[in-house]
Homo-oligomer: A and B are copies of this chain.
Amino acid sequence: MNPLFHKSIYQTRRDKLMNSVSSGFALFLANDDASMNYPSNTFNYRQDSTFLYFFGLSIPNLAAIIDFDHKKTILFGDDFEIDDIIWMGDQPKVAELASQVGITEVLSLSALPDFIQQNKGRKLHYTPAYRGEKKITLAELTEIPVSKQKENASVELIKAIVAFREIKSEEEIAEIEKACAIGYDMFTTAMKMCKPGIKESDLAGLVEGIALSKGNGVSFPVILSQHGETLHNHNHHLTLEEGKLLLIDMGAENKMNYCSDNTRAIPVSGKFSPKQAEIYQIVLDANMAGISACKPGIPYREIHKLAVTVITQGLQKLGLMKGDIEKSVELGAHALFMPHGLGHQMGLDVHDMEDLGENYVGYGDSFERSSIFGWAYLRMAKTLQPGHVMTVEPGIYFIPHLIDIWKNENKFSEFINYDKVEEYRTFGGIRIEDDVLITETGHQVLGIPIPKTIVELESIIGIAK
């Protein structure tokens, strides 16, 4: 069995939800086992995060109803039979599991369709399904076809869940710290082992092994590439080369499925070249400025603006950019170098609650997403509150394909020195990412500090040689 918080925590969460949704009932489906290449050959099990939040149990073949009118919770599940026990070992009874998370009413899975039939006419709330199997189950249970499920998902339920889950409790912060501790091991191991001649895949496998040994595996597919300019590069087929930068963006899930997410960019040879060090320092300045500015009451969009302003200033100093800084930032000229947003919320998901809709999580009712390239990719604009956990992850990238397109269009030529940019065409990319808790008075960087300054990095890279 997975570790659990005390049952009162789950009871309180459900009670709060019961008082936040006006009427009807909500259906929560546990994630199924997901098949790789035939039905019984499955990926490492990952429970749905909202299911974990309210019901704690990290096993498939469960469903739950929270009834807002009758103020009650029902867990649906079936006990193991002898064949299951031979193949998969003994399991606690569903009633026992339910009791561990404070649920007293348990029914067989076969009772779920009946429940929904008998309650036809009442408002049925659900969140959007992101796995095919669940879409099919949802269609069978509710008669809402797959193509109509997203538009019929309950906005009221989604908003209530986001409001609770985005404010992390003390217990949750402690779990995120555990995930960060695994992440620290992964990063420092990769840094120590990094040297010319070994393969990216050697390091990628090594760190993924640590994540599996210590927790529930990686919180997202490992990005570990000398082509750091490709933002979500999951290829690890290159051999590490003297003089190149290696970008590592990775995180762990601890045993309770809380996440970490950090990025470092390191010189393969152990020493930054002067050119690398200059760009690195700009990204580090943006990272530090962003973190320093985190506090309750400030919209995260302002922190993003601050960070890209620092980047624009730095790139101007190097002669890569020019012109009016405020205007340059507002129009998104920096997006040639940093097309993505500064960060996102993190918790039970590494992009927390992204399945519920990024705009509900990062924008809410008070903010609207920009349509300007670069700004549009910002996942979080909302005003920060104590209990928010944010990533702060500025970067500078030289993306040949994007440079060519902009240059051909002569785009933002008042802000960008394309001739100078050409000198960096094969530079790669740098991103520096930390996980930040918003506190009552400001912020706190989570986890054991992973080497980050140039001096710190140069003293750890390759020391396992």
Taking Cβ atoms with an 8 Å cutoff, the residues of A that contact B are 31-32, 34-44, 46, 48-49, 82, 85-90, 130-136, 146, 199, 201-202, 204-214, 220-221, 227, 230-235, 339, 348-351, 353-355, 399, 401-402, 405
Bound-state CA distance A355–B423 (Å) is 52
* Cβ contact of A213, chosen from B201, B220, B230, B348, cutoff 8 A: B201
What are 12 A-to-B residue pairs whose CB atoms are below 8 Å? Answer: A32-B132, A34-B131, A36-B46, A39-B354, A42-B221, A85-B230, A85-B401, A86-B399, A87-B232, A88-B233, A88-B234, A202-B213
A143 to chain B, nearest CB (A): 13
Bound-state CA distance A47–B43 (Å) is 13
CB pair A205–B213 under 8 Å, yes or no, is yes
Please, which residues of chain B bring their CB within 8 A of the CB of A339? 86
A195 to chain B, nearest CB (A): 15
Bound-state CA distance A234–B38 (Å) is 17
Report, nearest first, the 4 A-B pairs whose CB atoms are least far apart.
A209-B209, A132-B132, A205-B213, A132-B133
* Cβ contact of A38, chosen from B202, B351, B399, cutoff 8 A: B351
Bound-state CA distance A233–B235 (Å) is 31
Bound-state CA distance A339–B85 (Å) is 12
CB pair A82–B212 under 8 Å, yes or no, is no
CB pair A401–B213 under 8 Å, yes or no, is no
Nearest B residue to A133, CB-CB: B132
CB pair B212–A38 under 8 Å, yes or no, is no
Given A209-B205, A399-B86, A401-B85, A39 and B130 contact (CB-CB distance below 8 Å): yes
Bound-state CA distance A89–B339 (Å) is 14
CB pair B130–A131 under 8 Å, yes or no, is no
Bound-state CA distance A227–B39 (Å) is 24
A31 to chain B, nearest CB (A): 8
CB pair A233–B41 under 8 Å, yes or no, is no
Nearest B residue to A146, CB-CB: B136
CB pair A37–B41 under 8 Å, yes or no, is no
CB pair B34–A49 under 8 Å, yes or no, is no
Please, which residues of chain B bring their CB within 8 A of the CB of A37? 31, 46, 48-49, 130, 348-349, 355
CB pair A88–B354 under 8 Å, yes or no, is no
Given A82-B402, A85-B230, A90-B401, 18 more A-B residue pairs with CB atoms under 8 Å apart are: A34-B36, A35-B130, A37-B349, A37-B355, A41-B221, A42-B221, A43-B43, A86-B231, A88-B231, A88-B234, A89-B235, A132-B135, A135-B136, A205-B210, A205-B212, A206-B209, A209-B210, A209-B212
Bound-state CA distance A39–B131 (Å) is 8
